């Protein structure tokens, strides 16, 4: 599904209205209907509930007036607090406020901050649900004055908030908080999801996300050629490897994991286990000779391959010949988990990248080996998938982590195109960037994944998929989605706090089964 900017959404609206003669009032009516339907699905029957709709004077407010009118039709006690004078409304918003009032709806207009608390607070305290219809995507400056106070009071009420299209105060393109922003329980976003829901602070403010159809023809959306995709189960299903009944272990590839050092064998073991759990037929871990026995004790289903090591018990540059022979018998490789930053090890990684012709996932200290020298990545002999977290990407590019986080899509895309690699920028709303300019954002995952080892699990998943024959783009997209979903399934069983990487590994097969069966709405 396309992930749009505010400008792209405005253009879709304009095209539907001007080229297909779809009345804007109909689109607004459809939006209000969809919001009410999603509220019912999420919160259960609405009859008898008290709902306060806090509306601005723009189009988002108009969506709120429709929502309030339709809630009253469901026998809700729905009332509107308008943060403007009714005379300030124009167009469809003015029309729908009048329709709400003609149907018997109560609208309290507030024009000064001094009035607001005495009017809004009693209504909020008496409400079962609150609807945010203040700004939506129509905000391009920090929230101030009346609107800022209203947002503060709504959040402080601790009542469930339903945001229409986008939590007010959130930048629709970047997810930045513009002064202050609604923290929603549910966001019903219209026609297509907005980038800001999945980037920056968006995940902390959006709550559950539901995307609803408001009547914009699909061919108009397709013709817009929107460059960023939000991954969905249907996308992932189409990439999953087929497993024929006549298959044997060789059918599903042989993943080689070049990883580990003294004190960091867990990273290698978790990557190997994840590659097996995602379906690789064979997995072998190449590790420093002195830690190979430790790995064998941790791994029952994977094999080990001891290679020369440094005095610090990391991979030695003397291991190059052995690792080149190792790579020849593998269908995909991972380099990096737990290898450390010893100069010999870094030199080895440089030589491997320009010598092996297998699809390779470069992670952790494998990426750090190229810090400040990202141009070396462009000389890789085989296809590369890089899986940095923001700090690793910042080191690679000689910028700050804040620079990366401010422009996750742009930074990942530039590196992918300039070095002809696929980039997975990890974090909430992981970004996948292809060398051809494609971009995708992943909606799965939860804070339980913010623990040591889960990155190694992702490395193993993507490597296992490459080993089974997926192209780098497909392996990266399937990998981040399945990894996040496995984390979600594990968290649904035991909660987010205390989740560990092993829990995620165990849930990988369940995630694949869910993807094959899932038709659930976008998160």
Contact between 52 and 130 (Cβ < 8 Å): yes
Along the 523 residues of the chain, how does pLDDT read in single tens digits?
999 999 999 999 999 999 999 999 999 999 999 999 999 999 999 999 999 999 999 999 999 999 999 999 999 999 999 999 999 999 999 999 999 999 999 999 999 999 999 999 999 999 999 999 999 998 889 999 999 999 999 999 999 999 999 999 999 999 999 999 999 999 999 999 999 999 999 999 999 999 999 999 999 999 999 999 999 999 999 999 999 999 999 999 999 999 999 999 999 999 999 999 999 999 999 999 999 999 999 999 999 999 999 999 999 999 999 999 999 999 999 999 999 999 999 999 999 999 999 999 999 999 999 998 999 999 999 999 999 999 999 999 999 999 999 999 999 999 999 999 999 999 999 999 999 999 999 999 999 999 999 999 999 999 999 999 999 999 999 999 999 999 999 999 999 999 999 999 999 999 999 999 976 554 5
Please report the beta strands in 67-207, taking only residues with DSSP state E, as ranges in sequence order: 77-82, 106-109, 129-133, 161-164, 186-190
- Cα–Cα distance between 227 and 234 in angstroms, integer? 18
Task: Work out the widest C-alpha separation in the chain, in whole angstroms.
Answer: 83
- Cα–Cα distance between 358 and 381 in angstroms, integer? 8
- pLDDT, residue 520, reads 57
- Domains of the chain as residue ranges with CATH: 6-226 (3.40.50.10260), 233-517 (3.40.1190.20)
- Cα–Cα distance between 60 and 391 in angstroms, integer? 37
- Cα–Cα distance between 434 and 42 in angstroms, integer? 36
The DSSP secondary-structure symbol of 2 reads B
- pLDDT, residue 138, reads 83
Task: Check: pTM over 0.75? Answer yes or no.
Answer: yes
Measured over the CA atoms of residue 54, residue 59, residue 64 and residue 69, the dihedral's sign is positive
- pLDDT, residue 207, reads 97
Contact between 443 and 200 (Cβ < 8 Å): no
Helix segments in 384-437, DSSP class H: 390-397, 401-406, 408-419
């Amino acid at each position: 599904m396309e992930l749009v900017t505010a400008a792209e959404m405005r253009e879709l609206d304009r095209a539907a209205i001007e080229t297909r003669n779809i009345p804007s009032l109909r689109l607004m009516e459809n939006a209000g209907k969809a919001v009410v339907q999603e509220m019912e699905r999420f919160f259960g029957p609405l009859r008898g509930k008290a709902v306060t709709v806090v509306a601005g004077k723009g189009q988002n407010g108009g969506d709120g007036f429709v929502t309030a009118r339709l809630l009253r039709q469901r026998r809700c006690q729905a009332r509107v607090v308008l943060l403007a004078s009714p005379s300030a409304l124009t167009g469809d918003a003015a029309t729908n406020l009048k329709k709400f009032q003609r149907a018997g709806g109560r609208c309290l207009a507030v024009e000064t901050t001094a009035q607001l608390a005495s009017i809004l607070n009693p209504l909020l305290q008496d409400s079962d649900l609150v609807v945010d219809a203040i700004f939506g995507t129509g905000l391009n400056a920090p929230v101030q004055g009346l609107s800022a106070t209203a947002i503060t009071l709504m959040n402080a009420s601790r009542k469930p908030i339903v945001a229409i299209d986008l939590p007010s105060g959130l930048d629709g393109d970047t997810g930045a908080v513009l002064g202050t922003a609604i923290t929603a329980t549910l966001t019903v976003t219209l026609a297509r999801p907005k980038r800001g829901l999945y980037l920056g602070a968006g995940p902390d403010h959006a709550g559950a996300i539901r995307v609803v159809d408001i009547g914009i023809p699909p061919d108009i959306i397709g013709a817009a050629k929107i460059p960023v995709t939000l991954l969905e189960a249907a996308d992932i299903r189409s990439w999953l490897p087929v497993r024929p009944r006549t298959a044997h272990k060789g059918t599903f590839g042989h993943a080689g994991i070049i990883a580990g050092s003294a004190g960091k064998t867990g990273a290698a073991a978790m990557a190997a286990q994840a590659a097996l759990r995602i379906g690789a037929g064979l997995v072998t871990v190449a590790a420093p000779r002195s830690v190979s026995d430790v790995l064998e004790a941790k791994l029952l289903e994977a094999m080990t391959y001891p290679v020369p090591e440094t005095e610090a018990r990391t991979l030695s540059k003397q291991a190059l010949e052995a690792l080149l022979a190792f790579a020849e018998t593998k269908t995909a490789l991972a380099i990096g988990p737990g290898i450390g930053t010893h100069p010999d090890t870094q030199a080895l990684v440089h030589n491997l990248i320009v010598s092996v012709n297998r699809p390779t996932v470069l992670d952790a200290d494998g990426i750090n080996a190229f810090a400040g020298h990202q141009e070396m990545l462009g000389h890789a002999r085989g296809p590369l998938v890089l899986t940095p977290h923001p700090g690793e990407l910042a080191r690679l590019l000689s910028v700050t982590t804040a620079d990366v986080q401010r422009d996750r899509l742009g930074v990942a895309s530039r590196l992918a195109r300039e070095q002809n690699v696929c980039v997975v920028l990890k974090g909430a709303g992981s970004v996948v960037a292809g060398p051809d300019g494609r971009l995708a954002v992943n909606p799965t995952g939860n804070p339980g994944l913010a623990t040591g080892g889960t990155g190694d699990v992702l490395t193993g998943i993507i490597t296992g998929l490459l080993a089974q024959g997926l192209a780098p783009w497909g392996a990266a997209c399937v990998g981040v989605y399945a990894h996040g979903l496995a984390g979600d399934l594990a968290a649904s069983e035991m909660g987010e706090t205390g989740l560990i990487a092993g829990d995620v590994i165990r849930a990988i097969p369940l995630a694949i089964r869910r993807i094959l069966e899932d038709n659930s709405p976008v998160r």
